Chains A and B, each alone.
Chain A
Amino acid sequence: MSFSFLSRDVFSDLERLHRELQQAFEGGPSIRGASRGGFPAVNVGSTPQSIELYVYAPGLDPAAIEVNLERGTLTIAGERAASVPAPGDKAVIHINERFAGRFRRAVGLPDDIDPEGVSADYRDGVLHVSVKRRAEALPRRIAVQ
Chain B
Amino acid sequence: MTDQTNVATRASGTPAATQAPALLPAVDVVEDAAGITLYADLPGVPRDRLDLQIDADTLVIQGEAQVELPEGLEAKHAEITVPRFRRAFTLSRELDTAKITAQLHQGVLTLRIPKAEHAQPRKIEVRG
Whether B105 sits at the interface, judged by CB under 8 Å, is: yes
Chain B residues with CB under 8 Å of A94's CB are 1, 29-31, 36
Min CB distance A124 to B, Å, is 5
Q: Which residues of A contact B42 (CB under 8 A)?
A: 58, 125
Interface residues of B (CB under 8 A from A): 1, 3, 26-33, 36, 39, 41-46, 65-67, 69-80, 105-108, 110
A-B residue pairs in contact (CB < 8 Å), sample of 7: A40-B43, A44-B76, A52-B70, A85-B30, A97-B26, A125-B43, A128-B67
Q: Specify which of A43, A52, A93 is in contact with B80 (CB 8 Å cutoff).
A: A43
Mostly, the B contact residues are loop
Known: A59-B105, A59-B107, A124-B107. A99 touches B30 (CB 8 A): no
Is the CB–CB distance between A98 and B74 below 8 Å?
no
Nearest residue (CB) in A for B2 is: A94
Contact in complex: B33, A90 (CB < 8 Å):
yes
- Bound CA span A56–B106, Å: 10
For residue B44, which residue of chain A has the nearest CB? A126
Across the two chains, which residue of chain A brings its CB closest to B41? A58
- Nearest residue (CB) in B for A89 is B32
- Chain B residues with Cβ under 8 A from A56's Cβ? 43-44, 79-80, 107
Once A58-B42, A125-B42, A125-B106 are accepted as A-B contacts, the answer to whether A97 and B28 lie under 8 Å apart by CB is: yes
Contact between chains at A59 and B41 (CB < 8 Å): yes
